[in-house]
């Protein structure tokens, strides 16, 4: 099984493809200049792909991309917040909502 996480800026979300099928997404609201801060509001994984690590792979891939481009985030989505709590190496990406 191969995972691919990519941003879909038109829909304001990061999507995960599993073997070329859309398996889930995490939605955000951009804040600041050029998406400097992303407020993550909702994460969904298709029921066919639940309990397979797809959600965690989605969030890990998303956070890695946010970090690569120097962005920050507000984890309003409970799934994103819980992932960051379990993986404190991503805590430096979190900012308080203004």
Q: Which domain holds residue 47?
A: 3-93
Residue 87: inside a domain, yes or no? Answer: yes
pLDDT bucket at 98, cuts 50 / 70 / 90: low
pLDDT above 70: residue 55: yes
CATH number for the domain spanning 33: value is 3.40.630.30
Whole-model pTM: value is 0.93
* Per-residue CA distances from 12 to 29, 42, 51 (Å): 7, 11, 25
- pLDDT of amino acid 30: 93
Q: Which of 3-7, 28-32, 44-48, 60-64 has the lowest mean pLDDT?
A: 28-32
Query: 19-46, pLDDT tens digit by residue?
Result: 989 999 999 999 876 558 999 999 999 9
Residue 38: inside a domain, yes or no? Answer: yes
Domain count, the chain: 1
Residue 98: inside a domain, yes or no? Answer: no
Residue 76: inside a domain, yes or no? Answer: yes
* Per-residue CA distances from 90 to 11, 63, 86 (Å): 24, 7, 9
């Amino acid at each position: 099984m191969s995972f691919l996480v990519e941003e879909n800026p038109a829909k304001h979300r990061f999507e995960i493809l599993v073997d070329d099928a859309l398996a889930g997404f995490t939605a955000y609201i951009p804040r600041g200049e050029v998406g400097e801060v992303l407020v993550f509001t909702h994460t969904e994984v298709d029921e066919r792909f639940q309990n397979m690590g797809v959600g965690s792979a989605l969030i890990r891939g998303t956070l890695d991309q946010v970090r690569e481009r120097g962005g920050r985030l507000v984890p309003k989505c409970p799934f994103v917040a819980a992932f960051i709590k379990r993986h404190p190496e991503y805590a430096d990406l979190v900012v308080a909502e203004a």
